[in-house]
Amino acid sequence: METVTMSTPDIAEVDQFRCRVDEIFQKIDKLEKKVNEVEQFYLNANKKKKSSSKGNSIREEQDKGRHVPSIKKQQQDASQRESTAAKRMQELMRQFGTILRQISQHKWAWPFMQPVDVKGLGLHDYYKVIEKPMDLGTIKNQMEAKDGTGYKNVRAICADVRLVFDNAMKYNEEGSDVHLMAKTLLEKFEEKWQLLLPKVTEEEKRREEEEAEAQLNIQLVREASHAKRVQAISNELYEVDTHLEQLRETVVQKCRKMSTKDKRNLGTAVARLSTEDLNKALEIIAQSNPGLQAMAEEVEIDIDAQSESTLWRLNFFVKDVFEGRDKSTAGNNKKKRKKGICDAIAQTVKKKSKKPSS
């Protein structure tokens, strides 16, 4: 494997420097994940705000500075809210039960009190016409179920009651006794349902408002949590920036003047670069020599004419190239990021080299 000749102290210092840079890269990778998570949270939050109904600006003003319950308090409130709402729904279902009982006691209700005897009546096409059979007896039993399989709200019961009579009118021809009985009972049911409907609507609106309030509190807690994460990330970024500054100072202090032998070795190594890598080396030189046309076929590199910072940047670059020839390309992205940091360090070296000595 081709290598660039360097003294043992130089190799040790470079390896130490690379180790510190690798540690910073690991911190940066973790910070990137954290930043992406926070960014995604706020993107989703903004989308929800934009998709919400108009008039929320007044609500948002009211929400500013409001007290945000703790997670434990919210859980307690949610449990209490569900319990209270369940009791209110039970009362509505009780009132609906009164309506169902009145309909069931009608003289024409008997054909609808139990499932249709399809086999006994020889109704061979019944299941082809009726997709979901239903009867008042089944509805009553489901309303009284204690195992958690019963109805959860009044509208679901209402839908099944309508289904009982709709099925009867669909299967039996208009003008038939069963069709007429079903139509009459459905009309009576709708009249009674309209009396209960305002209470049902009021309860639904109340539940919706309570749910919106709960969701808002959850969102505020999440935002507060992410605000803390942002502050923590900011502190970590400051720490990384401090470490980078320390590395810059180390490079400035450690970069000795390159010896003639080092320059000769560097020149030999540069000559062995591929056309692509040579062009990259010329780009490094061009940063300190704006007038240089970075084309490998046309430019001859004068190692002795380069500044110390450029020489050391070339030295690090060439060493990276030869060390990477026998390695997989899995680390290419990290090398590019290293080059960016080396560039930043070199810029600092260049700026400090321009300062007049005291």
Average pLDDT over residues 295-322: 77
Task: State the CATH number of the domain containing residue 275.
Answer: 1.20.1270.220
Supply angle C-alpha 342, 345, 346, rounded to 5: 85
Q: Which residue has the higher pLDDT, 145 or 226?
A: 145
Report if residue 103 sits inside a domain.
Answer: yes
Q: How far apart are CA 94 and CA 80, in angstroms?
A: 21
173 with 281, same domain: the answer is no
Closest CA to 181 of 113, 129, 240: 113
Is residue 3 in some structural domain?
A: no
pLDDT at 297 over 80: no
For residue 296, the model assigns a pLDDT of 46
DSSP letter assigned to residue 329:
G
Lowest mean pLDDT across 40-49, 75-84, 96-105, 291-300: 291-300
Lowest-confidence region among 196-200, 253-257, 291-295, 313-317 = 291-295
Angstrom distance (rounded) from CA 93 to CA 72: 31
Q: Are residues 267 and 308 in the same domain?
A: yes
pLDDT one-digit tens code per residue, 93-135: 999 999 999 999 999 999 999 999 999 999 999 999 999 999 9
Within-domain flag for 270: yes
Are 75 and 152 in the same domain?
yes
Same domain, 79 and 198: yes
Verify that 200 and 97 share a domain, yes or no: yes
Segment among 41-50, 137-146, 287-296 with least mean pLDDT: 287-296
Confidence of residue 206 (pLDDT cuts 50, 70, 90): very high
Q: Are 220 and 267 part of one and the same domain?
A: no
Q: Read off the pLDDT of each residue in 257-283 and give the average, rounded to a whole number.
A: 86
CATH number of domain containing 185: 1.20.920.10
Average pLDDT, the chain: 79
Percentage of residues in the chain with pLDDT exceeding 90?
31
Same domain, 263 and 217: no
Burial annotation 35-46 (CB, 10 A radius, 16+ → b, else e):
eeeeeeeeeeee
**Does residue 14 form part of some domain?**
no
Burial of 6 (0-12, 13-18, 19+ CB in 10 A): middle
Q: Which amino acid is at 94?
A: R
Q: What is the pLDDT of residue 122?
A: 93
**In this model, does residue 63 exceed pLDDT 60?**
no
**Residue 131 sits in which domain range?**
71-227
Distance CA 169, CA 257 (A): 101
| Same-domain pairing of 125 and 166 | yes
d(CA 318, CA 280): 10
For range 163-191, the mean pLDDT:
97
Q: Are 86 and 146 found together in one domain?
A: yes
Domain boundary among the residues 227, 248, 280 is at 227
Number of domains making up the chain: 2
Q: What is the pLDDT of residue 247?
A: 74
The verdict on 222 and 266 lying in the same domain is no
Average pLDDT over residues 267-291: 83
Q: How far apart are the first and last CA of the chain?
A: 46
Residue 2, domain member (yes or no): no
Long-range contacts from 94-98, C-beta under 8 angstroms, 24+ separation: 95/196, 95/199, 96/154, 96/157, 96/158, 96/196, 97/143
196 & 268 share domain? no
Tell me, yes or no, whether 240 lies in a domain.
no
Looking at the structure, tell me whether residues 220 and 277 fall in a common domain.
no
Is residue 352 domain-resident? Answer: no
* 329 vs 52: CA distance, rounded Å: 48
Flag whether 22 is in a domain.
no
